[in-house]
Structure 1
Amino acid sequence: MRILVVDDDYDMVETVKLFLDAQGFEVTTAYDGETGVASAARAAPDLCLLDLVLPDMDGRELTKAIRGVTGCARTRVVLLTAMGGRKAVEAYLGDGENSADAYVEKPVNFKELKSLIEKLLDTR
């Protein structure tokens, strides 16, 4: 399974990548939205972990752009956020094509992240 991680915090990206690599996922990384979209076009990820707020776009814009890439319309999206709580990210969640499937608060609880990825990708 392929996972794309997009966050402008280098340490966050590398920490999440190390964790996902250890779980056996094929991981691609990017540090801004534009590069994230290009990476999605190359990697066709099964799941994306996207920072809610990037310098060049927000989570909804990035979700829409990635799902607009050929082969990525059904890509699962999890937002990474330091904003705290569901209320802060509610507008980004839902059933719409631009909506994320779930969110994870920073700092990331890796046990919860693993469980969420397994649920979304049904990889247990």
Structure 2
Amino acid sequence: MNKLLSLLLCAALAACTTVGNGRVQTLKPAEASELLRPGQTTLADAERLLGAGKVLRFDSGWTTVHYVYRDGLPRALDFVPLVGLVTSAIDTPETELVLLFDGQGLLRKFRLRRAG
């Protein structure tokens, strides 16, 4: 039982969180500007390039798609008693890309953010 617990803990410590196909991890601002063209790139284009992201649809027809790459500990560990005191204090590299699409499915804006 202790070996299984140790194995699970090691797996959690080596984990990363990814939404999409992982391309966001290495995406540079200049490359993002080439790939993602407001008024031209469609939602289908973005999914083909970056994989499936977290989608939020508004009543107006506008849509945001979020892609995240977080290296290190999963965020869920931040909420585990005692463990969370340590994990929430660790600064881990994170890359986030948010795309905003209009009602016709055309990209209007995007934001690439790196932290950590």
Q: Indicate the TM-score class for this superposition, using the shorter chain for normalisation.
A: under 0.3
Identify the structure with bigger relative contact order (alpha carbons < 8 Å, sequence gap 6+).
2
Higher helix proportion? 1
Structure 2-normalised TM-score? 0.25
Structure 1-normalised TM-score? 0.24
